[in-house]
Chains A and B, each alone.
Chain A
Amino acid sequence: MELAQEKVPLSGAKLAVAIKAMETAGFLERLTVRIMKLAAAKGFYNPFNNEDVDLPGGKSAGDLAVDIIEKSLDGSYTWDEKKQPDFYWFCWSRAESILSNWLTKNRRMTTMSPMLEDGENGELDSNPVNTAADGGDIYEVLRFRNGGALGNQLLEDFALSLPDKSHEQAILMAVHDDRECIRRRHCREKLAVSEGDYDAAMKRIQRAAPKFLTEWCQKNNIKTEDRKEVR
């Protein structure tokens, strides 16, 4: 039987570095915004509802930031300051890892029944991944059902619904064909679109999205009850 590794809280020089970092103005807020950006780049924000975000454990970005800081300090996460001397970026890397693991697990899962895992103090605990608050039912269905095939179709349909040969259509097709194109610089360079044209096209995409998404769901008979099938 493998023994659980003992948690060693930060101390000495490492604790001093962490405290100094935490005392910099806006440390928590910066990490929170960084987590929001990270979550956005990984598709955690529901395009069907602007305010809905489904982070692991049903937490807000701010709560997740404090959890990470707390666990980094109490030794739940092992901070190797030789690999990452900056405490802030270490916390960021933990957020990156948490969000990536959540996505990977959800890709693998065909059922969402709660899994029990060894928690702290050796007690069985339900995995936060399985107890995550649902973000948007439709988004969840489209994201994970049939390996996301429905969602793939949605992006293509959205692109084709936009004016032919427009920048906005070109951007969506580029994102469809090349995952790197979610990065604006990469996308602009690939399409040879100026910053101004890109921003204007993105505004048009953002304006067109809500109506298109509603109509697309109606046309394809996607209902919130479908989420039960996912579970």
Chain B
Amino acid sequence: MNDKKPIELTKLERLAALLRDDGIDPETMNADQLAQYLKVYKVDMSDPQKRFASVLKKSKARQSLEFAHERRQKAVDKSKAILSAGADAVEAVKEKVRVMIKNLGQHDPDQAQVYAREFEKATPEDLAVLEEDLTLLEMEASENDKGDSQNPR
């Protein structure tokens, strides 16, 4: 990137550029070296860092919201499919979720209790969300088990 052709500078600007050139390439520096470089040039980064942290936080919140929206949309689609398939399909999902909660209870009784309470008052749409949540939990638990077996203490 340093080899990019410079734009037309006045001769004085060329001198300014020359006097300021320290031959440093920020791409070769690590985070500590960058912080030290900014300190040497007395660049106060406290405000920009605060603003940056806030921008990053907002972006992550927006991303979480997007995920939640996608999940909800998926659940709505799924519940519509279940409802259109009839009462037997609803019962089948209920049974599946019931088993999943029971399985969860063996590893984490407290969390299983929370899901059981949700299950009691669940609409078909809620059932779809519960099913997805529990599937994710099962996948997470299975990943953890795999990790533990690969890295035995």
Contact present for A32 and B63 (CB under 8 Å) = no
Bound complex: CA of A22 vs CA of B9, how far in Å?
32
Find chain B residues with CB under 8 A from A15 CB: 59, 62-63, 66
Dominant secondary structure of chain B at its interface with chain A: helix
Find chain A residues with CB under 8 A from B47 CB: 62-63
Tally of contact residues, B, Cβ under 8 A: 48
Nearest B residue to A213 via CB reads B15
* Contact A155:B12 (CB < 8 A) given known A26-B31, A32-B43: yes
Contact present for A61 and B43 (CB under 8 Å) = yes
- Min Cβ gap A57→B in Å is 14
Find chain B residues with CB under 8 A from A119 CB: none
For A16, A19, A47, A143, the residue with the greatest tally of chain B CB atoms inside 10 Å of its CB is A47
Contact present for A37 and B48 (CB under 8 Å) = no
Contact present for B34 and A43 (CB under 8 Å) = no
Bound complex: CA of A152 vs CA of B23, how far in Å?
24
Query: Which chain B residues (16-66) contact chain A, with CB distance < 8 Å?
Result: 16-21, 23-24, 26-27, 29-31, 34-35, 37-38, 41-45, 47-49, 51-52, 55-56, 59-60, 62-63, 66
Contact present for B45 and A179 (CB under 8 Å) = no
Chain A contact-residue range equals: 35 or more
- Min Cβ gap A19→B in Å is 5
Bound complex: CA of A139 vs CA of B15, how far in Å?
11
For B6, B14, B60, the residue with the greatest tally of chain A CB atoms inside 10 Å of its CB is B14
Contact present for A36 and B15 (CB under 8 Å) = no
* Contact A45:B11 (CB < 8 A) given known A60-B44, A62-B45, A66-B52: no
Q: Which residues of B come within 8 Å of A, CB atoms?
A: 1-3, 5-21, 23-24, 26-27, 29-31, 34-35, 37-38, 41-45, 47-49, 51-52, 55-56, 59-60, 62-63, 66
Some 17 contacts from A to B, beta carbons below 8 A apart, are A28-B45, A28-B49, A29-B38, A30-B27, A32-B43, A36-B41, A42-B6, A43-B14, A47-B12, A62-B38, A62-B44, A62-B49, A69-B52, A151-B12, A152-B10, A179-B6, A182-B18
